[in-house]
Amino acid sequence: MKNELILTRPDDMHLHLRDGDILAAVASYSSRDFGRAIIMPNLVPPVTTVNAALAYRDRVMAVVPATDDFTPMMTLYLTEATNPEEIARGFASGAVKAVKLYPAGATTNSEGGVRDIKKVMPVLEKMAEIGMPLLVHGEVTDPEIDIFDREAVFIDRVLDPVRRALPELRVVMEHVTTKNGVDYVKSADRGLVATLTTHHLILNRNAILAGGIRPHYYCLPVLKREKHRLALRAAAVSADPRFFLGTDSAPHPIFAKESPCGCAGMFTSINTMPILATVFEQEGKLGQLETFTSLNGAAFYGIAPNSAKIRLVKRTRPQIWPNRISAGPDEIMVFDPGFPVFWDLDRHKRPATLQKEATS
Ligand code: DOR
Ligand code: ZN
């Protein structure tokens, strides 16, 4: 059995780093294990201008250890007041890679998002023209629609009509959570890809609700039935270039999760790579891990894969992570996959040494 794996350094194509104390607490876990990350703009206030994105990028880099080779790829938060020229300027500068569409009210800090898709069509037209990706939180917010159906209804009511109107638009269905979403992505021969999170590959909705309510497993889109989880896993290990990793690691203080109205999100950047090695091994597809974590996302964003390598080693004892980390006066719970993880990211060797080994 394989107990060592050398891969191209991965990228996290959907990441929440937050700001202030939380940013300072979590950023180094991403910069340690990933070469680049697509940084979500749902701060308070949201990142809606190029200047705000550049300032945020500086705040991220200020807390990334100087020894880590990490590039934050910034995004802008789409509002009904977004100016097409502003997003085009950000894209042309190279610092802003994409625009994020949050339906208003769909998730954390999405109140400033989009209520009526028609109002943002001029921005989407501009994006289609310049090839700038649109990252969608694919859920409707209509209170009539059951929360477990919101992704499927979004595809029918919003995403498909937009893609038909603008066939050149490049769309990422972020954190796809249903078989409907996977099938929709597979049905498109161009212009549509999807990110998959670590947690949606591992958990189904029983994790939140069976045997007691577990707020640390609450996220959005909410975990779905087992048949959906199986479809996501099949997509992840398939090597289909349309599916790649976006952890959606979304840290919240423990008090905000363990509350009568708890926040959505799990903090997974700290242990994602060892957990994913376990998932791919469970599927008998360890050989496809690199495609999912390090190649497909880069290809979509038109960037070369990272030149550095990482080494995953299968230990004889399960990994032990802290179950929480400090963030200023608060603490953040670390994601618990619920099974033992024997894979470990060997962080003792320098990337250059690994690069030599991998090519020898
Ligand atoms: O679980 C989630 N947490 N899903 C999202 O869409 C947003 C994120 C957050 O920012 O907390
Ligand atoms: Zn997210």
Tokens for 23, please give them.
């940013």
Report yes or no on whether pTM surpasses 0.85.
yes
User: What confidence score (pLDDT) does residue 358 get?
Assistant: 46
Q: Distance, CA 359 to ligand 2 centroid (Å)?
A: 35
Q: Which ligand is nearest to the CA of 266?
A: 1
Mean pLDDT of 192-221: 98
CB-CB contact of 327 with 270 (8 Å): no
Q: pLDDT at residue 12 above 90?
A: yes
The residues whose Cβ lies within 5 A of ligand 2, an ion, are 248
Q: Which ligand is nearest to the CA of 265?
A: 1
Q: Helix, strand or coil for residue 76?
A: strand
Q: pLDDT at residue 360 above 50?
A: no
Q: pLDDT at residue 355 above 90?
A: no
Find how far residue 339's CA is from the centre of its chain.
Answer: 22
Q: Which ligand is nearest to the CA of 17?
A: 1
User: What confidence score (pLDDT) does residue 118 get?
Assistant: 97
Q: Distance, CA 73 to ligand 1 centroid (Å)?
A: 18
Q: pLDDT at residue 169 above 60?
A: yes
In ligand 1, which atom is closest to the CA atom of 137?
Answer: 6
Query: 10-305 has which CATH code?
Result: 3.20.20.140
Cα dihedral across residues 8, 10, 11, 13: positive or negative = positive
Mean pLDDT of 197-218: 98
Q: pLDDT at residue 352 above 90?
A: no
Instruction: Please state, in angstroms and rounded to a whole number, the distance separating the CA atoms of residues 233 and 176.
Output: 11
Peptide bond into 221 cis (omega under 30): yes
Q: pLDDT at residue 338 above 50?
A: yes
Q: Given ligand 1 and candidates 14, 15, 16, which is best to mutate, with the most ligand atoms within 8 Å of its CB?
A: 16
Q: Given ligand 1 and candidates 109, 198, 219, which is best to mutate, with the most ligand atoms within 8 Å of its CB?
A: 219
CB-CB contact of 272 with 249 (8 Å): yes
What residue segments make up the domains of the chain, in order of their start? 10-305
Q: Distance, CA 252 to ligand 1 centroid (Å)?
A: 9
Q: Whose CA is nearest to atom 4 of ligand 1?
A: 220
Residue-wise pLDDT tens digits, 235-245: 999 999 999 99
Contacts 24+ apart (CB under 8 A), 255-259: 255/330, 257/215, 257/216, 257/218, 257/333, 258/215, 259/215
User: What confidence score (pLDDT) does residue 349 get?
Assistant: 57
Residue-wise pLDDT tens digits, 264-323: 999 999 999 999 999 999 999 999 999 999 999 999 999 999 999 999 999 999 999 999
Q: Distance, CA 212 to ligand 2 centroid (Å)?
A: 25
Measured from CB, residues less than 6 Å from any atom of ligand 1 are: 16, 42, 107-108, 137, 219-220, 248, 250, 263-265
Question: 318 φ, ψ to 5°?
Answer: -65, 150
Q: Given ligand 1 and candidates 38, 107, 252, which is best to mutate, with the most ligand atoms within 8 Å of its CB?
A: 107
Residue-wise pLDDT tens digits, 42-71: 999 999 999 999 999 999 999 999 999 999
User: pLDDT band at 359, cuts 50/70/90?
Assistant: very low
Q: How far is CA 200 from CA 225, 228, 234, 332, in A?
A: 10, 9, 12, 19
Mean pLDDT of 206-222: 98
Share of the chain above pLDDT 90, in %: 95
User: What confidence score (pLDDT) does residue 354 get?
Assistant: 54
Q: pLDDT at residue 197 above 50?
A: yes
Q: Distance, CA 99 to ligand 2 centroid (Å)?
A: 13
